[in-house]
Amino acid sequence: MDKIDLYEHRVSYYETDQMGIVHHSNYIRWFEDARVDFLEKAGFSYKKMEETGVMIVVLGASCQYKVPARYEDRVVVIPKISEFNGLKLKVTYRVLNKADGTLLATGETSHCFTDLNLKPVRTKKDYPEIYKIFYDYIDVDLDKL
């Protein structure tokens, strides 16, 4: 299991709102960015996955906001495979301020694997290479590798 460089993001101006903080919807987008960044670094990018005929559909998403991120903040988003059985997937996230390590938010997304027509697929049997990536990283804290 290889070390994965953590996903970093600098807050864009257009991600702020008139409260002067990052609009809460963007964290859901950062989760996705961190998720696919992990996949790419683990050796099977999401783009390649779709080209292989597999999509990872979002069934649910949630975020708890602790401390607002602000313009130009560097944030680190750390995904963790919390559940995976080849068909369904849960990922939890921590969003940290890179400068001081403050926990800004936590979250979770749940997914199923489908073909390009949104029919569920079992990765263990049909896409073992994809299965392996998620299986290998179950419960792994990427920041502790």
Binding site for a copy of itself (CB under 8 A): 12-14, 16-21, 23-26, 28-29, 32-33, 36, 40, 45-47, 55, 57-65, 68, 71-72, 118
Quote the least distance from Cβ 47 to a copy of itself, whole Å: 4
The DSSP string of 4-67 is -PPEEEEPPGGGB-TTSSB-THHHHHHHHHHHHHHHHHHT--HHHHHHHT-EEEEEEEEEEESS
Q: Which is nearer to a copy of itself, 60 or 101 (CB)?
A: 60
In angstroms, what is the minimal distance from the CB of 81 to a copy of itself? Answer: 18
Catalytic residues: 17
Ramachandran assignment for 53, one of left (phi > 0), alpha (psi -120 to 50 degrees), beta (any other): left
CB atoms under 10 Å from CB of 93, counted, come to 25
Q: How far is the CB of 24 from a copy of itself (least distance, A)?
A: 4
Q: Pick the closer one to a copy of itself by CB: 21 or 124.
A: 21
